[in-house]
Amino acid sequence: MFNQLFRSSYYVTKHINTPLLEERLNYLQYWHEAGKAHSTLTTIAQYLVRIVEYLQLDTTDIVTIEEVEVAADLWARYQSNNPQKKAAFSKTGKKRFIWYATHWLAKLCRLKRPVKTVIPVFQKIFVQSHTIARHSTAPLVEERVMYLQYWSDCGAVTSTIRIIAQYLLIIIQFLDFYQVRIVTLSEIEEAAVRWRRTRDPQNIHKKSKYSKFAKRQFIRNAARWFKMLGCLQETKQPISFEEYLNQYISYMRQEQGLSECTILSRFYQLRIFLTSIEQKQQEFTKLTPLIVDEIIIGKHDIDHHSRRTVQLYASILRSFLRYAEDQGWCPKHLASTIKAPRVYRDESLPSAPYWSDVKRLLANSVSDSLVDIRDYAILMLLSVYGMRCSEVTHLRLEDIDWENELIHLQRAKRCKPQTFPLSKTVGEAILRYLTLVRPKLRTSREIFLSMYVPYKLLSSAAVYQIVSKRLKKLNITIKHYGPHALRHACATHLINEGISLKEISDHLGHRTLDTTRIYAKVDLTTLRKVAEFDMGGLL
């Protein structure tokens, strides 16, 4: 191997004649299989020679960490005081000397670790003394302990923290992360690929126990850890006319007082609009009504969005261009030229599954699986009370009055409070989830949390996936498969049961009866009576 690493015969001979030849060759082979570059292997080989020399190693020596540190200090002083070597001496050379020495000697079982270096957090998650010592003496111990404490505060169990601690050592090794430095996402991904292809020759069982999700976990833990340390360089996608968009966002937040959810929704739409302008190689100051019309028409003809969606899109563009006109970014009267498609009131029918399908949906979700227990409680709230998605995700522990069997709800629109009697089946579903599934966290008061650490409030997208996945398994044909389909199903079921529009309006939290009146179109029972009405021979 030395003939491949060094061109000079002098260095080849020197490395061959240095003691512990076989041990050094095995260590270099280990790094070679880990995917290290030729230059890195050369550096490691040179460090091993210095380690043997300054520690005066023979075939039986047991070395303490204090001895390694003393040898590293002597070597560093020699390097920094030598005029021929001073210029090429790295500031991290001493740390690398210590790390390679401890790592190599530990693999040879010739490193005696002092008890005083043991970190308490590692004593809690590991049992074997040599494992505790290895994690306690590895580089960046303070940074690793901080990250592990973050996961502990998030409610992670001991087994999860143990796995994360092991990943951190692998990340340090395969990213050469022996001191805090700027790291890119591409570096992390390349290191994860190298690690994925690596198989430790001393562990023949490693390949069979390797998880198919391990690479993803490597990337996720590395990115989160580096982001916490403030050393992750994230690649940000450039946004067309970004300065205009940022200024308009500030205007929506400070002047208009819009919610963050509305601002985020408009941001995504406007980013697409501005990108379309740049793709047409148009300057914003020379924007014409023809270009805006082409973009709006493409929303319907190319992207196949509904007329209602295109109408909303046109409204967002009109508001933005009015602001742009006032700022002098585009020609005057451009916003007034935007024509949105006409959408007639109550022109469509609510798209909802039959109530029999909703019953099948709920029946299929009953099981002892922890995920099913949580999802069943969510589906019951959506189906029985016709809640909106955001109303379910923001439901809090104090909103359930178990003593009086009531459920207090803050409606998503106009934040109107509403109180319902707590149904027995819904109450049992929620209580089962709280008892068996929900993590016991004092910091979060929302009822429904994610299943895995870090535990956080369920997003609307997560609830959509829960409902959509289960509705599609029923093999039914409806227009939309999200949570709102269950709200429509609830309203349709109530009106077919003969409940008045006023009662349904109150149940769903509608502001006016006009919103509820659309469900009269699906009142099959009443419509059938009208169809069977005897006109007395008038027709």
Q: Which residues are catalytic?
A: 388, 413, 484, 487, 510, 519
Whether 82 contacts 102, CB under 8 Å: no
Exposure string over 173-194, b if 16+ CB within 10 A, otherwise e: bbbbbbeeeebeeebbeebbee
Whether 335 contacts 327, CB under 8 Å: no
- With 0-12 / 13-18 / 19 or more C-beta atoms within 10 angstroms meaning exposed / middle / buried, residue 161 is buried
Cβ neighbours of residue 502 closer than 8 Å, sequence gap 6 or more: 513
Beta-bridged to residue 421, according to DSSP, are: 406
Whether 338 contacts 266, CB under 8 Å: no
- With 0-12 / 13-18 / 19 or more C-beta atoms within 10 angstroms meaning exposed / middle / buried, residue 325 is middle
Whether 312 contacts 270, CB under 8 Å: no
For 63, which DSSP code? E
140: left (phi over 0), alpha (psi -120 to 50) or beta: left
Exposure string over 68-104, b if 16+ CB within 10 A, otherwise e: beebbeebbeebeeeeeeeeebeeebbebbbbbbbbb
Q: How far apart are CA 226 and CA 229, in angstroms?
A: 5
Q: How far apart are CA 255 and CA 230, in angstroms?
A: 33
Strands 406-410 and 400-401 come out as antiparallel
Whether 67 contacts 55, CB under 8 Å: yes
Whether 314 contacts 340, CB under 8 Å: yes
* Sign of torsion over alpha carbons 272, 278, 279, 282: positive
Whether 240 contacts 275, CB under 8 Å: yes
Q: How far apart are CA 232 and CA 296, in angstroms?
A: 38
Kindly report the number of other CB atoms within 10 A of residue 244's CB atom. 19
Whether 217 contacts 167, CB under 8 Å: yes
Whether 192 contacts 218, CB under 8 Å: yes
Q: How far apart are CA 447 and CA 460, in angstroms?
A: 14
Whether 490 contacts 383, CB under 8 Å: yes
